[in-house]
Structures are given as structure tokens and as C-alpha cells.
Structure 1
Amino acid sequence: MVCGGYICTKNALCALNILYVLVSLLLIGVAAWGKWFDLVSSIRVVAAIIGVGIFLFIVAFAGLCGTLKHHQILLFFYMMILFIVFIVQFCISCACLALNKDQQNHLLEVGWNKSDATQQDIEKTLNCCGYSKVDYTGTCAASCFKDPSPSCVTCSNIILEYAGDVLRFVGGIGLFFSFTEILGVWLTYRFRNIKDPRSNSGAFL
């Protein structure tokens, strides 16, 4: 069977969905590991990562089942969901790559103000206090704040130093996976319209 036929397309779709299953399990495992070792105390952050992992696992599992059984309905819904995910992920990836310093600072400050648990995680990990100014009359999870003569830097100084590189990395990874998703849409569309050579030649699949 030449590449582009039934078997080749089926194997390519199976490999793609197995990759998505592994990525979803990695996301769930990393979130659980971070919570277990108390690296991330924010329940919302952990829940969001696990939620994305579970969603990806369900989509990939449906795609894998649809591919193995050549199930038209499963493949159709898999193709539609994958296309929607592609559009959303492509837009977010482009936004990450296009943000300038002022926009990065604004978004980071908004995210900082939304969660006290996230603030504590960042202060503890980066050894900094406050976002744009240090309040020595308040509380801080950083070790520098517990010194007899505390002299902490603001977290924005540290975060913004690496924010551009992180956003470019996240945007690049997201862009790469978005192209694998559009490849999955194309393969699924092609696979749905190929007859199984082992079936009855007169049967419609």
C-alpha cells in the first residue's frame, strides 16, 4: 500500500493521537507533581492544567477510537473539535509572540492581582516581594523578607527579565502543535473518505 492510502493514513492518525495522549498524560503528571511537592499552591492553576490535560486526553482517545474503527461520526466530531482547538491555539500563540514589553507588564500585573496563592508561589520561588513595589509592613513568602534587615527586589524586575523569552517559547511550542492539529484535521478528512480495502467493495464507509 503506497503512502497516502488507507493503511498509511490510518497509521499516521494513530501516531498523532498517541502523541496527544502522551502530552495529555505529561500535563496531568506535571500538575500533580507540582502540587504533591508543594511547588504550586494555587488550586486554580493546578486544576486548569489538569483540565487541559483531561480535555486533550478525551479528544485524542476519541480520535484514536474513531481511527481504529473507521467510525464516521467519531471522526467527524474529532475533526471539528480539533479544528476549533487549532484556531484558538493559533491565535493565542500569535498573541504570545506579538506582545510588547508594556503589554506583557500589564497582563502579568493583572494575573498577579487575581490570586494570592500565585503571588506566594512566585515570591517563594523567585525570592522577591510585591509586584511593582515592596511593602515591608505587609507579609511576603520570600526568604529575603525574613532576614533581620530585609532588602528584597520586586518580582516584576525578575519576571519581566524572562517574560519575553518564556512567551516566545510558549508561543513557538503552541504554534508547532497548532500545525500538528491542522495536519490531524487534514488526515481525518482524508481518512473519512477512504474505503477500507479489507471490507466489502460494495459497502459505503
Structure 2
Amino acid sequence: MVCGGFVCTKNALCSLNIVYTLVSLLLIGVAAWGKWFGLVSSFQVVGGVVGVGCFLLLVALVGLCGALKHHQVLLFFYMMVLLAVFVLQFSVSCACLALNPEQQNRLLEIGWNKSQNTQRDVEKTLDCCGFSSVNYNDTCAASCFTRLPPSCESCSNMLQRYTGDVLRFVGGIGLFFSFTEMFGVWLTHRFRNLKDPRSNLGAFL
């Protein structure tokens, strides 16, 4: 059977969902590893990454089950969820690529003020204190704060050195995966309308 037929489309859809499954397990594993080794102490960050991983795993399993069984309802549900994820991820990816330095700094400050655990993680990892200025009368998790005399740089300056590159990387990866999701929507729509050669052709609706 030529590629583009029932079997080839089914195998392509299964392969795509296996890739999504591996990515979801990787997200969950990285979050658990970071929490286990104390690299990330914020439960909100770890919980968010694990939540995204579990959601992607659930969607991938629904798509895989629908593809293996040629189940019309599961395939339709999978296609609609994948389309919604595509729209959201494409929008976020474009926003990441379009943010200017001033907007990046404003978003960083909002995220900084939301969680003290995140502040400690950033201070410890980047060896900096405070967001826009260093207050030596306050406490800080950075090793530079314990030196005599203490000489620390503000975390805003440290973060701005990496934020642009990180956002471009995240935006590019998100944009790439958003197009794979659109490919998955097209593939699912095509697969739903193909006849299974092993089934009773008269029973196909």
C-alpha cells in the first residue's frame, strides 16, 4: 500500500503521539529531578511543569488509543484539543519572540514578586541579590552575600543577560512544536475519513 493510505497514516499518527509521550515523560522527569536535587524549591514551578507534562501525556495517550482503534470519538476529541493547544502555544511562542527588553524586565519583576521560593532559587543559582538593587541589610541566599566584604550584583542585571536568548530559544521550540501539532490535526482529520481495509466496508459511515 502506498504511503498516504490507511496503514501509513495510522503509523504516522502513532509515531507522532509516541514522540509526544516521550516529551511529556521528559518534562515530568526533569521537574522531579530538579526538585529531588534541590535545584528548584518552588512547588508552583515544579507543579506547573509536572501539570503540563501530565496533560501532554494524557492527550498523547488519547491520540494513540484513537489511532490504534480507529475510534472516531477519541480522534475527534484529540483533534479539537490539539487544535486548541496549537492556538495557545503559537500565540505564546510569537509573544516570546516579540518581547522587547523593557517588557521582558517588567515580566521578570512580576514573576519575581510572586514567589519567595523562586527568588531564593534565582539568587542561589545566579549568585545575585535583590531584583533591581542589593540591600545588604536584608537576607540573601547567594554565596556572594556571605563574603567579606559582600559584593553582589542585582538579579535584574544577571537575568537580562540570559532572558533574550532564553525567550528566543523557548519561542523557537514552541513554534516548532506548534507546527507539529497542526500537522497532527491534519493527520487526524485525514485518518478519521479513511476506510479501514480490514473492516466491513458496508459498515463504514
Distance 2:3 2:11 in 1: 10
The amino acid that maps onto 2:92 is I
Distance 1:186 1:168 in 2: 27
Q: Which whole-Å deviations, capped at 9, do the CAs of 1:181-204 have from their partners, x for residues lacking one?
A: 000000000000001001112111
The amino acid that maps onto 2:139 is T
Distance 1:204 1:92 in 2: 40
Distance 1:3 1:102 in 2: 50
Distance 1:124 1:158 in 2: 12
Mind listing any 5+ residue stretches in structure 2 that lack a counterpart? none
Aligned to 1:86: 86
User: TM-score if structure 1 supplies the norm length?
Assistant: 0.99
Query: 1:163 aligns to what SS in structure 2?
Result: helix
Aligned to 1:60: 60
Given the alignment of the two structures, is residue 30 of structure 1 paired with residue 30 of structure 2, yes or no?
A: yes
Aligned to 1:164: 164
Aligned to 1:203: 203
Given the alignment of the two structures, is residue 187 of structure 1 paired with residue 187 of structure 2, yes or no?
A: yes
Q: Which whole-Å deviations, capped at 9, do the CAs of 1:140-175 have from their partners, x for residues lacking one?
A: 000000112101000111110111010000000000
Distance 1:73 1:201 in 2: 19
The amino acid that maps onto 1:22 is L
Aligned to 2:95: 95
Aligned to 1:132: 132
Distance 1:19 1:115 in 2: 33
Mind listing any 5+ residue stretches in structure 1 that lack a counterpart? none
The amino acid that maps onto 2:129 is C
The amino acid that maps onto 1:149 is P
Runs of 4+ in 1 over 4 A off after TM superposition: none
User: TM-score if structure 2 supplies the norm length?
Assistant: 0.99
Distance 2:52 2:121 in 1: 21
Q: Which whole-Å deviations, capped at 9, do the CAs of 1:74-126 have from their partners, x for residues lacking one?
A: 00000000000000000000000000000000000100010000000000000
Distance 2:65 2:171 in 1: 30
Distance 2:175 2:116 in 1: 31
The amino acid that maps onto 1:127 is D
The amino acid that maps onto 2:131 is Y
| Displacement of 1:30 | 0.1
